[in-house]
Amino acid sequence: MSSPTNIAQKAILIREDGNILALRRSNTDPSRPLTWDLPGGEVEFGEDLLNSIKREIREEVGFNVETLSLLDCLAWVNPRGEYWVAVGYFAKVPSGTKVTLSFEHSEFEWISKEEFLTRESTFRIKRFLEKLPPMTT
């Protein structure tokens, strides 16, 4: 019998000045507290992929993104034996966009891709950042 496939999505949100929205997970987060993150989360059963990432962005940072571009996909089995698929997107957002964080994150910064890559994060977020096309920043 095979185990279920878990699907997670992340979005790299890029301002007109080329900086990326970096979120810091709260210290009470059950997984990876105080590490740096991107907006996103798990796809709910039966949920459309684009609707899912748009919902996660709205829930976690308080604004809507209408147009997202597919960036990359990857799959792995974690140490608990769970099979995961991650989908990465990117989108441009206006420089004046107001961020309202959910309880999942305690702070945010608009930083360069290079700065984000130096911070503690996950391998999949770093892979997505490294795959970001140069013309997007």
CATH at residue 124: 3.90.79.10
Instruction: Quote the pLDDT of residue 137.
Output: 53
For residue 131, what are its two tokens?
């795959």
Task: Note whether 128 and 71 are within 8 A (CB).
Answer: yes
The per-residue pLDDT for 102 is 93
Q: What is the mean pLDDT of residues 86-113?
A: 95
Write out pLDDT tens, residues 11-39.
999 999 999 999 999 998 888 889 999 99
Kindly state the DSSP code that residue 78 receives in the 8-state scheme. -
> Residue 87's domain spans which residues?
5-136
> 37 near 23, Cβ under 8 Å?
yes
**Is the CB of residue 10 less than 8 Å from the CB of residue 40?**
yes
Threshold 0.85, pTM exceeds: yes
Domain count of the chain? Answer: 1
pLDDT at 134: 82
C-alpha 132: how far from chain center? 13
- Please name the amino acid found at residue 10: K
The string of pLDDT tens digits covering residues 45-54 is 999 999 999 9
In the chain, the N- to C-terminal Cα span, in Å, equals: 44
pLDDT at res. 29: 84
pLDDT for the residue 44: 94
Per-residue pLDDT of 61-87, as tens digits, reads 999 999 999 999 999 999 999 999 999
Three-state DSSP class for 29?
coil
Is pLDDT at 1 greater than 50 in this prediction?
A: no
pLDDT at 136: 61
DSSP structure string for 44-68: PTT--HHHHHHHHHHHHHS------
Alpha-carbon distance 45 to 57, whole Å?
18
Query: What's the pLDDT at 2?
Result: 66
Q: What is the mean pLDDT of residues 129-134?
A: 92
